[in-house]
Amino acid sequence: MTDGPILITGATGFIGGRLARRLTSAGLPVRAMARRADATVAPGAELVMGDLSDRASLERACEGVSAVISCAAITGEKKAPPGGYDFINADGITALAEAATAAGAGRIIHFGGIDNGGSKPGPYLAGRRRGEEGLKAAGVPWTILQPSVQFGPHAPFIKAMAGLVKGPIAPVAGNGRTKIQMIHVDDVCRAAQDCLTGDERLGRYIELGGTEALELNGILDIIGRAMGKPKVRKLHAPMPIVKLQAKLMQVLPNPPVTPAAVELLEHDNVAASLTGVEQEFGFVPVGFAAHVASHGLEL
Ligand SMILES: NC(=O)c1ccc[n+]([C@@H]2O[C@H](COP(=O)([O-])OP(=O)(O)OC[C@H]3O[C@@H](n4cnc5c(N)ncnc54)[C@H](OP(=O)(O)O)[C@@H]3O)[C@@H](O)[C@H]2O)c1
């Protein structure tokens, strides 16, 4: 790696923010990209303004960087922006990789997710794949990280599930048997940091999952116990009804559920192996239930 700063996009977000703090604490030079001049980013990081919808801003953000870590995206939990998810998650990611290539960055490490879309991905996953294809075609050496759902301080998924568990009956999409390989955000950030050096992870997709594949029902029970609810009562709604509700709710400014979130939860969110992180990075990720029992939900 050259001496230039490491650009982290999405530095105001859950993963990007945590990663920026980790890298600055390790003494690495971090340039943190945000959309607002008054954004709070990791202490010690250089703030740069940038938006995935604005190519010129990406070119400025990439000037002189040694590497780019791409954490900015519109996640499936959020309502699609006016131009649709693809405007950011496909076109924006392609533009970022092209800017990184033009700036001579040594590599780009991009955050996708476990891709459970198979041969017929829904629109959200199809857009994410298009972004990844654009990124790979840009020319800069790449690694695509594919984490499962994460827990840890201020994890969006845990916040959303705790909101459901708080009520008298937790509504659950489908039968609740979808499996998720929960992984701590710090384990994900550790893996991302490891990808900054060496050539052996370039040109590869790398899945990041915890050591257990837990059913959504079980995850809600663990969250319930941490909230002092020994029994979480659940209402399982058939998927077609959930999909219809999600579609209708898109008229709301902040819908509680989106078609993209339903798409991501429809199939198991698990990696090919339960020991993939240990094999690839040489450490064992912390377990969800044990971590929540000792640290609480960290909302
Ligand atoms: N969290 C998980 O459990 C999880 C699991 C698997 C994969 N992932 C993937 O990992 C990535 C990061 O997730 P996250 O949980 O950190 O998401 P997040 O907390 O929602 O953060 C998203 C970041 O992207 C930024 N952003 C959104 N639109 C942008 C735009 N047009 N230009 C520049 N920046 C923009 C946001 O900035 P503002 O603050 O300005 O909105 C924010 O900093 C996503 O691709 C997500 O799908 C996450």
What's the pLDDT tens digit per position in 193-242?
Answer: 999 999 999 999 999 999 999 999 999 999 999 999 999 999 999 999 99
Digit-coded pLDDT (tens) for 31-78: 999 999 999 999 999 999 999 999 999 999 999 999 999 999 999 999
By C-alpha distance, which of 51, 49, 60, 47 is closest to 20? 47
Q: What is the mean pLDDT of the chain?
A: 96
pLDDT at 31: 98
- Ligand 1 centroid–CA 244 distance in Å is 26
Going from the C-alpha of 261 to that of each of 88, 110, 293, 299, the distances in angstroms are 17, 20, 27, 20
| Structural domains of the chain, with CATH | 6-155+181-212+269-286 (3.40.50.720)
Digit-coded pLDDT (tens) for 150-165: 999 999 999 999 999 9
% of the chain exceeding 90 in pLDDT: 96
How would you classify the pairing of strands 183-184 and 30-34? Answer: unpaired
Amino acid identity, residue 13?
A: G
- Ligand 1 centroid–CA 12 distance in Å is 8
pLDDT at 3 over 90: no
- Ligand 1 centroid–CA 10 distance in Å is 6
Best substitution site from 75, 88, 132, 277 to test ligand 1's pocket, by max atoms within 8 Å of Cβ? Answer: 75
pLDDT at 83 over 90: no
How would you classify the pairing of strands 107-111 and 142-147? Answer: parallel
Q: Specify whether the CB–CB gap between 298 and 154 falls below 8 A.
A: yes
pLDDT at 2 over 80: no
Residues within 6 Å of ligand 1 by CB: 9-10, 12-16, 35, 51-53, 71-75, 88, 92, 111, 113, 147, 149-150, 156-157
- Ligand 1 centroid–CA 111 distance in Å is 9
pLDDT at 1 over 70: no
Q: Specify whether the CB–CB gap between 239 and 171 falls below 8 A.
A: no
DSSP 124-155: HHHHHHHHHHHHHHHSS-EEEEEE--EESTT-
